[in-house]
């Protein structure tokens, strides 16, 4: 059970919500973010603004950290084909943070991973699915999986859990993500650009459902090497557009070519979180989209 928690990427979409929620249930949280991406809400005054690569084992010991939640990453899949340094940074920050954790009192390390490590497979993806990365970003995340295994070999009492996120969305998500991107274009009466035919599908989970689950995982005595964080439901881009048309009847749509190595769909086999953490997502995709629309209309 976590006593003092370090969260990297703490000013970001999931990191900020998780930090706030942990503090509300009485947890002590140290928040780190280098603000390389401008958050949609003002960072908290106690945020430590620094690169993950510069976190030392001495600092971890001084703060008496026993749990790390490493959410910081350069996560734009399409961009990873063109800005190659982003994938290098994902690896570098992780290996240095693992090394700092190795030489401190950290017992539990939660590593943000992604469904992208699995690539396209015809079945729902479970935690034991093979790695089939389709992008430099996904390769950097697969590399981190092997690093995690190496560092657990080095320190027997260091437990590393990979959190395989399947498209968490919500009001404060960055505008590069599909749902807020479409919503902002709709509000501004601009063309919504669909890459490919729009039949590609993802497994969307609302931020509140994701964070509630993460708190249960962090606070649990159960250990799993890898955990899928997903609703288990498939939603296509066309279905998102159809939902938006209920709010914006005059949507203007244009299609461009598909992304490099576009993946047809991701769906989580989430039986592990249902059975072990009683996960039952409360927010349906239509209601979640409505909440995102409300947030951006009020901005």
Is 275 domain-assigned? no
User: 56 and 136 in one domain?
Assistant: yes
Report field, pTM of the whole predicted structure over 0.85: yes
pLDDT of residue 1: 61
Is 153 domain-assigned? yes
User: 179 and 33 in one domain?
Assistant: no
Please provide residue 87's backbone torsions phi and psi, each rounded to the nearest 5 degrees: -70, -35
Query: What is the span of the domain harbouring residue 287?
Result: 169-202+233-267+283-298
Joined together, the tokens standing for residue 215 give 């708190």
Is 17 domain-assigned? yes
pLDDT of residue 98: 98
Q: Which residues does the chain have with pLDDT short of 50?
A: none
pLDDT of residue 90: 97
Q: What is the DSSP string of 159-184?
A: EEEEEEE--EE-TT--TTSHHHHHHH
pLDDT of residue 3: 84
Angle in degrees, CA 26, 29, 30, rounded to 5: 165
pLDDT of residue 298: 82
Is 256 domain-assigned? yes
pLDDT tens digits for 186-203? 999 999 999 999 999 999
User: 212 and 107 in one domain?
Assistant: yes
Is 277 domain-assigned? no
User: 51 and 141 in one domain?
Assistant: yes
User: 162 and 119 in one domain?
Assistant: yes
**In this structure, are residues 104 and 55 in contact, taking their beta carbons and an 8 Å threshold?**
no
pLDDT tens digits for 211-248? 999 999 999 999 999 999 999 999 999 999 999 999 99
pLDDT of residue 96: 98
Domain at 63, CATH number: 3.40.50.720
In angstroms, the Cα distances linking 45 to 4, 27, 81 are: 19, 18, 35
Is 278 domain-assigned? no
User: 107 and 175 in one domain?
Assistant: no
Is 273 domain-assigned? no
Report the chain's mean pLDDT, rounded to a whole number. 96
Cβ neighbors of 257 (< 8 A, separation 6 or more) are 195, 196
**In this structure, are residues 161 and 227 in contact, taking their beta carbons and an 8 Å threshold?**
yes
User: 175 and 118 in one domain?
Assistant: no
| Domain tally, the chain | 2
User: 214 and 95 in one domain?
Assistant: yes
pLDDT of residue 264: 92
User: 150 and 67 in one domain?
Assistant: yes
Is 197 domain-assigned? yes
């Amino acid at each position: 059970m976590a006593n003092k928690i370090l969260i990297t990427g703490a000013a970001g979409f999931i990191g900020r919500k998780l930090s706030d929620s942990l503090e509300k249930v009485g947890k002590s949280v140290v928040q780190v973010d280098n603000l390389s991406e401008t958050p949609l809400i003002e960072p908290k005054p106690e945020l430590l603004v620094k690169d993950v690569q510069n976190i030392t084992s001495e600092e971890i010991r001084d703060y008496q950290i026993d749990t790390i939640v490493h959410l910081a990453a350069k996560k734009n899949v399409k961009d990873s084909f063109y800005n190659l340094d982003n994938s290098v940074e994902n690896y570098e920050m992780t290996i240095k943070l693992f090394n700092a954790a190795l030489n401190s009192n950290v017992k539990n390390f939660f590593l943000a991973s992604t469904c992208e490590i699995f690539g396209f497979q015809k079945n729902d993806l479970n935690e034991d699915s093979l790695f089939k990365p389709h992008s430099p970003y996904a390769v950097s995340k697969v590399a981190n999986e092997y690093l995690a295994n190496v560092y657990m070999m080095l320190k027997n009492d260091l437990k590393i859990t990979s959190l395989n996120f399947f498209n968490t969305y919500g009001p404060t998500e960055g505008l590069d993500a599909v749902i807020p991107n479409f919503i902002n274009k709709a509000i501004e009466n601009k063309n919504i650009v669909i890459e490919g035919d729009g039949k590609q599908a993802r497994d969307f989970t609302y931020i509140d459902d994701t964070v509630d689950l993460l708190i249960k995982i962090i606070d649990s005595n159960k250990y799993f090497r890898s955990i899928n964080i997903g609703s288990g439901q498939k939603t296509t881009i066309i279905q998102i557009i159809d939902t938006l048309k209920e709010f914006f009847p005059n949507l203007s749509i244009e299609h461009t070519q598909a992304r490099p190595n576009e993946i047809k769909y991701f769906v989580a086999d989430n039986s592990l979180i249902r059975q072990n953490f009683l996960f039952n997502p409360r927010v349906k995709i239509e209601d979640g989209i409505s909440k995102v629309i409300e947030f951006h209309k009020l901005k």
